[in-house]
Structure 1
């Protein structure tokens, strides 16, 4: 079993320590902003950096993935709990704790039953659309902060836009100045000196401006008093009906984190050559979320941006996460007074710049160029998430994933093999008339399982191939079964109808290269018996080319 903090040695200790300080500078301002997006106090974002971070770092198999609340998770929390309680209330915070615990239990169940593959249904277009919709909704709230305009963050996207436009007459010039300068520093700094913690610098400088010039007396919102003290153990006491009401949003959070977290974890493990254990990573997410819910925080996910920052800083262990936890705890104990005068426009600028990549503009352009159908999937998920809601967005995402899967499964490659054993043109792409394998024989290969989505398609393609070659000139059909890994009942019924049609045309049927499990399946479904498959194969093979030119697709089944 991998030891905690695997990869940490005396040689890289200084590098890891420096990376930890960098992570501390990045995470604190972002987590304060994410807590505000979620409708929770700043301490909820800071508490997530203590116990949940320690637990995750000591258990996870990934040496680099950073676990923390992120913008998408914060938006999901706000959109799902906002309809159950008023943002900022005690009930709202309690529901956020319960939601994190439910997420943790789901992660643990995924790990125990090895169900992480379910996240594979969230393809790139779906993730781009879903996260992009959440990000744009967040962006409206952050722009309002940057302009000093008051909006109701609990409203839907259109309501927020209406509040923002209607509030232009009340924007604050000082807030706009702080925001413009902050965005300029963040964007230019990210472009030319990425290693510098620009977010922390922006917070320090703008806070000094507020303190020295009294901008808070001129209409600039500030963070306000942040309670001092470490996180304390707690447990949400709510009705069972509310626990059940939180389950759909918890499922959405769990699936999105699983898909993104495992993808990022796997990519860095492959890049740097250390082990990747998906189920252990899911278990780590589980216990860190339970810890978050039991000590005043909210749902914890994976942070792609912070993981990338740690990779660029040279970190190859989870040691920076422990530095982050220690530094945050010291801040909570002794330094919360320093946070009170942080201007909200600067926080809005930091969060806004951080979520620009989540809008997925480049990804959408790439999808448009590569595959219009997948672009439409992403766009549909984006619009549903934006205008209907996050839960509807995740449901539509799964429906679209199934539609996309069915669309591709219903159009498998179906080829007529030439005498060399190589496929000719696909039967689904207007193959030329007279396309046969050998005189009187057609060998057809189905490159997919035979099931309900493609059974009728395969039967139609076989009939078209025989008709195009001339029904009177075809006496034997050989089905190359090498790529057929399974047959379901509906597919078997379609194939039975095809056998009856072949018999009516006096065309014999044979199978070649049948996998042992598929052969058993064909027999159990009544599609053939052993004597039939051997006799029909011999009859078909006798009409093929001489042995020296025998197509590879016409071997006897079971040999």
Structure 2
């Protein structure tokens, strides 16, 4: 029998809900709505879609996540980090200036593919895929994304538009537009003032809804001073009523770019969600259920895709607002969805005079929150290799584009892991005075060693990628160490030996034996030792040359040779 509560955590939440939580959830939901509406509209336009689709998406994803999402605090919705990725897919498939209806249908199909991918990954328990973006590459990617978003919104902030795709072309278009006098003074003033209000209140009064205040003040300014007549573009009246059901559609020639974009969006959405869920779970004492989170986000994307929506992710800022407002459960998101629905049914003209430069200010403020320059500086001070990875990911996004940038970021993360396995840290060990055990002689240069003995530590699993590196280092010892008789492998860090490495060890042991040198292992893990037996390496490596500890191996060598410790 299917465990409904396991796959639909919202059902369990309803059965355990306490009426004392309702007032807090209601207040948090209303406060959250003041953020959901302007951000939803702004991020929809960032994705190259009509503003109304951001509200449709918010309604459906909040309701779906309330049923399938495991977290009681996370808030989903249109996201600034996904907007440029969605826009890249739409432009790649339809070209610039595509018909809005075609763009909406294609965005819905993109959301459906993203949702299916996430649900399948959750069912298959592939939550570890979030680890494909390491912290340095994620920092670089987000900084590159922040710069890309900022530049893309500057023309709208200044009251004009540019024809260009990518950071370089859009930067050139903006500079040329300003030089040619395309700037609309009234739009520039209201956009910059809105941005100043949002950023200032976020910095000095984070509990005050800066986005809402900027939106209200800008609408008042448009009405009071007749700014539309001065060239300020506004949102206009929104369609009245709730979104209608519509099957996503696409041309099969666009399948490649849709699937490629969906993989990138799914990975970024998953990474954002797992990191945000972990951060807020630590504050609230909840447990992160990564696989169910994927199912919850997937269900939210699927639900939105059938109602003129587009891909969504978790929002750290909106989640923080909900928590600060006293949210206790997913009911907060349901209240937000209901409030947006009431706005569309009864007051669709309420936001008619919202200026486009203010929406640009909302997006730019979000982009600034994505940027993390101190993290880049910290990487520079801590580890230059990871700083280089962050810069490479940054340049990947800024120069190649958002989707190629995420591919670069993932590729760099994987290559960094592979590099650490390929060229792991290696050490020759000795006995240091006043310190128990055996230690790296580069750290303890005065450590004692036994003549004819070398203790070697290789800090990685022995696999095809590093078998040659290991072999060449041991051969170097055999060639350069005078009177060498034993090479003891401090094998505790070796967590695996694959067949390629096993063949290398068999060949290497025969080669060493011809030189009168024995290859000895100490502290090898049981699972690895079982593989050694299965590979039948003890045909060449003496079974007596496997010791449980380094001390036992060293003692055996001293008994055999009578060697004494020397500096």
Q: Answer whether TM exceeds 0.5 for this pair.
A: yes
Find out whether 1:504 has 2:505 as its counterpart: no
- Please give the per-residue CA displacement for 1:383-439, whole angstroms capped at 9, x wherever unaligned: 22222222211222222122211222233233344457633226xx69869963x45
Residue of structure 1 in register with 2:78 after alignment: 69
Query: How far, CA to CA, are the matches of 1:375 and 1:535 in structure 2?
Result: 43
Secondary structure of the residue aligned to 2:82 is: helix
Q: Which residue of 2 aligns with 1:332?
A: 344
Which residue number in structure 1 is paired with residue 278 of structure 2? Answer: 266
1:192 deviation in Å? 2.3
SS at match of 1:53: helix
Which residues of 2 match residues 312-351 of structure 1 at below 5 A?
Answer: 312-351=324-363
2:133 is matched with 122
Could you say what secondary structure the match of 1:443 adopts?
strand
State which of 91, 111, 118 in structure 2 corresponds to 1:100.
Answer: 111
Query: Is 1:113 aligned to 2:124, yes or no?
Result: yes
Distance 1:167 1:269 in 2: 47
Q: What is the DSSP-based 3-state SS (H/G/I as helix, E as strand, rest coil) of the residue aligned with 2:493? A: coil
More moved, 477-486 vs 342-351: 477-486
Counterpart for residue 234 of structure 2: 222
- Residue deviations 1:108-153, cap 9 Å, x none? 111111112122111122222223222222212322112112223x
The number of equivalent residue pairs is: 542
Q: Which moved further from structure 2: 106-115 or 505-514? A: 505-514
In structure 2, the residue corresponding to 1:444 is in which secondary structure? strand
**1:30: which partner in 2?**
39
Supply the distance in 2 between the matched residues of 1:6 and 1:356 (Cα, whole angstroms).
41
| 3-state SS of 2:81 partner | helix
Q: Name 2:556's counterpart in structure 1.
A: 542
Seen in structure 2, the aligned counterparts of structure 1 residues 332 and 512 have a Cα distance that, compared at 3 Å, is: same
Moved more, 188-197 or 243-252: 188-197
Partner of 1:199: 211
Q: Does 1:162 align with 2:162?
A: no
Runs of at least 5 residues in structure 2 that lack an aligned partner in the other structure? 1-5
2:485 counterpart (461, 475, 494): 475
| TM-score normalised by L of structure 1 | 0.90
Give the aligned partner of residue 555 of structure 1: none
User: For residue 282 of structure 1, what is the aligned residue in structure 2?
Assistant: 294
Aligned counterparts of 1:237 and 1:21: Cα–Cα separation in 2: 34
1:283-337 deviation line (CA, Å, top 9, x unaligned): 0011111111111010011112212222333434222111110111101111111
Classify the secondary structure of the residue corresponding to 1:48. helix
How do 1:394-409 and structure 2 match up within 5 A?
394-409=406-421
Deviation at 1:6, TM superposition (A): 8.7
Q: Secondary structure at the match of 2:464?
A: coil
Query: Structure 2: how far apart are the matches of 1:545 and 1:255?
Result: 58
Deviation sequence 1:472-530 (CA, Å, 0-9, x none): 1x322222322222112332343234313321221122222322321222233343259
| Contact 1:476/1:540, CA 8 A, preserved across alignment | no
Asked whether the 8 Å contact 2:509–2:541 carries over to 1, the reply is no
Give 1:386's aligned residue. 398
Post-superposition shift, 1:172? Answer: 1.2
Identify if the C-alpha distance between structure 1 residues 21 and 288 changes in structure 2 by more than 3 Å, giving closer, same or farther: same
SS of 1:477's partner is strand
Contact kept, 8 Å, 1:144 with 1:151, in 2: the verdict is yes
Mark the CA change 1:329 to 1:530 in structure 2 (over 3 Å): closer, same or farther.
Answer: farther
Change beyond 3 A, Cα 1:26–1:423: farther
Helix, strand or coil for the counterpart of 1:528?
helix
- 1:69: Cα distance to partner? 1.4
Q: What whole-Å deviation, never above 9, does each CA across 1:63-82 have from its counterpart, x for those lacking one?
A: 22211111111110001211
Alignment of 1:168-187 (within 5 A): 168=178, 169-187=181-199
**Structure 1 268/490 Cα, relative in aligned 2: closer, same or farther at 3 Å?**
same
1:356-387 CA-partner distances (Å, limit 9, x unpaired): 02133222222222222222212222222222
